[in-house]
Structure 1
């Protein structure tokens, strides 16, 4: 046999062996995914069972507790412009040592030959307070888990494995969420750090007042020929970062960013995988201007090896970079007052006259583009009507419509929406105050895709607890349970900076596109609840998406804190939330959607709380038939 043939056979055997290992990995992966699917199906069933248990028990105690809190709390009077976000560079932590802790996050996917050196270099840092958080994005190579588990004895080491492959952005988000440090340092799993890297960069950050983002020079370690070359950014400007970054990314290795930045600008977005660091840098520059610190010293070793980016991947990343730049430029234009679309703010007013004025003022303080403000007063007292005439009517761009009867929240909102002329219609309750930068964010979020039909704000109570940051629902045997995302979490918890798809959006602090609104059927059968749930289901049927915007934050002063307003608040609650109206609204939802809303309060009003599902269904059907007979 010829030598060449022997070589070919050996090469073929090598290829077959490699492919056999890959097939084995894939088979193992398939078995693991099958097991995970079974596990999650079981969890889903358990969740539905748990939800039924909750909603058929004493869940309303939570709401009762809320009303008691409402009557007992006495917070200071509101300021004219509403609650402000932290000033640029002002960090939450007051404990110096706690505030200086660094979490070095390492997202992992394969790269077995380089993992040990990478992790050893992170754990060998001379800095006084740090941890290393490693998240494996479901690597198919079993050797990865063996290596990562070998470090679990180390007190500064955290190891997490995704249940399924999520991509780089979501993997980094999980690392940040599981981090305990207030500073996040980024290390790729095939690179490594000098022992003093974190210590030197932190000193650089501390030397610049208000800095929230640090970066360094790096060594390019070229594996092919074993050479090492320094890449420096000394020639790049250290001011006017926003415009300079629009030219191209350079605030890279080693990156260290304060965790508060992510609460302000949002966590990584999966749609930007491959250029996610560029998106974060530009958003930081947009919101924090020049709060960057540069260490002109190579302390990061960036490995360049055979796994080069393919032409296809390079073209994809180039497209992502174009989108990132476009969205930042859009934010800049909106901040400067340029938007080629009209925005309608629809505010439903009932009493709370001073809050209505503050709501309008907060819009005027933060929105520079062409807009109209439509206030629909839902039959307030003569005193409130006169206040609105004296203090609100004269504000530029404000139109007030006075109703001679209270139409309830759904009725008032659907009537007011018909009056709006804008390309965007933003619903705000009259006791909501918006914050600086909220408007640029919600418009940019809405413009991300033509099939986004509605966007809801991150809505926070004045106590700092979140009311909602998106929403979802669960279906079970003809019942639907509506759930609020992040409710009761602290507004500064980093997990609340995630971007979500929503299966429904609450109506009180939400943007709707005109092309969606024009196709909605606002049913008059909703007296004081559930219309926003119905609207959301309609939006989904129209094949539009609903999303949250964690960077568009508003404060909802839902509780009256002024002692002089206590009696008016009781009347407000009596008129707006009459018991019969709740029952009628639930029955109307059933007639329109053939689903019964799982709401323990309304079930109690109907005397069906705790009954079997079949009994509840029968009762709702009977009420539906009675209503149909009354109408005929």
Structure 2
């Protein structure tokens, strides 16, 4: 699909120049028409050679804008800096550890162009915590273009709806952004600001969509260390309080099952003879779904009874190194 309105691609960087930023930028210029986008890169006070590289990038390409922050402002505030510089009719937020594929941009934007009810679109990926994830045997950062080509050709134009989209790569129209606003900077360094934005978009009566025809290779959270991940505990509680709901891990499992169920039903409707092995899967779907829904209700009930301080302690134990767990188990009372 061709389009005349320019896209602003916004990338936030913090160190990881060789591992993340350079391969990311090179993949964008290799697989994207330079006339279709402007590239906005905000650096959050990197200590490596990233600022120097970005200065050179700006001199090399006419469509590059950069902002060099004097301190690490975190993901939401850093991305907001980029959004303030953006002039495109379409906005793409992209992690610096992403590698794109041929025709990725046109495939990513197509649902936003054809369906005004869609407010946010994400691609499929190898490394993501939602049903956007697909696994292709043998795929890695060196062969991902070749290994995903047939899949993308077979499923070009296919879209499914969801409740959550990972912000490692996400696109929206300018009119949606102007209605929803910036990312919530109260999430600090990061984590759950994407879930917050997805909820805000849905409350504004827009749909979230994933396109099966766009794949991005995600190397995976190069910019977050363990200390920053601990900040996620606080953000999770803030998210739940802000939207008056209880966060559960089983929600993701239910979303996965919904996607699998939809695809199996599509297959069944287009085939008169059902494969016996597939039949054994389909007759157990309802039971599995009922089990997950019941587990989700139990999780919500348990979480509501748990005091925030206790909840934080339990999560810390399950995410901590082994030596911390041993200390918690064997410490004297």
Q: Same fold (TM over 0.5)?
A: yes
* Counterpart residue number, 2:296: none
Aligned partner of 2:28 in structure 1 is: 363
Quote how far apart the aligned CAs of 1:409 are.
1.9
> Which runs of no fewer than 5 residues in structure 1 stay unpaired?
1-330, 460-465, 469-482, 561-568, 601-608, 624-632
Q: How does 1:532-611 map to 2 (within 5 A)?
A: 532-558=194-220, 573-574=225-226, 577-579=228-230, 581-598=231-248
Match of 2:308 in 1: 619
Choose which of 176, 186, 200 in structure 2 pairs with 1:525. 186
Aligned to 1:204: none
Contact 2:246 2:303 in 1 (8 A): no
Aligned length: 246
Q: CA deviation at 1:365?
A: 2.4
Following the alignment from structure 1 to structure 2, what is the Cα–Cα distance between the partners of residues 594 and 620?
18
Is residue 344–residue 372 contact of structure 1 (8 Å, CA) maintained in 2? yes
The 1-side partners of 2:44 and 2:72 are apart by 5
Contact 2:45 2:71 in 1 (8 A): yes
Q: Residues 346 and 425 of structure 1 are in contact (CA less than 8 Å); yes or no, is this contact kept in structure 2?
A: yes
Matched, 1:413 2:79: yes
1:159 is aligned to none
- Which secondary structure state, in structure 2, belongs to the residue aligned with residue 597 of structure 1? coil
Distance in 2 of aligned mates of 1:511 and 1:585: 23
Please state if 1:484 is matched with 2:136: no
Instruction: Look up the SS of the partner of 2:184 in the other structure.
Output: coil
1:440 Cα deviation after fit: 2.1
- Distance across 1 between alignment mates of 2:246 and 2:118: 27
1:226-237 to structure 2, matched below 5 A, reads none
Matching of residues 241-260 of structure 1 within 5 Å: none
TM-aligned CA distance change 1:558 to 1:393, over 3 Å: farther
Distance in structure 1 (CA, Å) of the matches to 2:105 and 2:239? 32
* Matched position secondary structure for 1:505: coil
TM-score, structure 1 normalization: 0.36
Superposed counterparts of 1:136-285, under 5 Å: none
Instruction: Work out which structure has the larger RCO, using CA pairs closer than 8 Å and 6 or more positions apart in sequence.
Output: 2
CA apart distance, 1:416: 1.9
The correspondence of residues 5-16 of structure 1 with structure 2, limited to 5 A, is: none
In structure 1, C-alpha distance between the alignment counterparts of 2:56 and 2:69, rounded to whole Å = 17
Distance 1:373 1:365 in 2: 14
Deviations 1:339-359 (A, max 9, x none): 331210000111121332332
> Given that residues 246 and 304 in structure 2 are in contact (C-alpha distance below 8 angstroms), is that contact kept between their aligned partners in structure 1?
no
Alignment partners' CA distance in 2, 1:429 and 1:532: 12
- Tell me the residue number matched to 1:352: 16
1:354-380 Cα offsets, whole Å, 9 max, x none, are: 332332222222222432111011111
Q: Which residue of 2 aligns with 1:376?
A: 42
Matched residues in 1 for 2:160 and 2:198: separation? 15
SS in 2 for 1:344: strand
Q: Deviations over 1:394-452 (max 9, x none)?
A: 32211111111112222322332222111100111111111112122122222121111
Are the aligned partners of 2:161 and 2:207 in contact in 1 as well (CA < 8 Å)? Answer: yes
Structure 2 unpaired stretches of 5+: 138-147, 251-298, 313-333
Aligned equivalents of 1:534, 1:388: Cα separation in 2? 30
Q: In structure 1, what is the Cα distance between the partners aligned to 2:107 and 2:134? A: 23
What is the CA-CA distance between 1:529 and the residue it aligns to? 0.4
Distance 1:614 1:544, change over 3 A: closer
Relative distance call for 1:393 and 1:536 in structure 2 (3 A) is: farther
Whole-angstrom distance in 1 between the partners of 2:151 and 2:109: 22
- Please identify the structure whose Cα radius of gyration is greater: 1
**In the aligned structure 2, how far is the partner of 1:545 from the partner of 1:486?**
15
Query: Which residue number corresponds to residue 32 of structure 1?
Result: none
Q: Per-residue deviation at 1:383?
A: 2.8
Q: Return the offset for 1:393.
A: 5.0
Which protein is richer in helix relative to its size? 2
CA distance in 2, matches of 1:451, 1:376: 30
Instruction: Write the distance in 2 (CA, Å) between the matches of 1:621 and 1:449.
Output: 45
Distance 1:622 1:510, change over 3 A: closer
| Rounded Cα–Cα distance in structure 1 between residues aligned with 2:29 and 2:50 | 21
- Aligned-residue CA RMSD in angstroms? 3.1
SS in 1 for 2:239: helix
Q: Deviations over 1:24-72 (max 9, x none)?
A: xxxxxxxxxxxxxxxxxxxxxxxxxxxxxxxxxxxxxxxxxxxxxxxxx
Equivalent position to 1:508, from 155, 158, 168 = 168
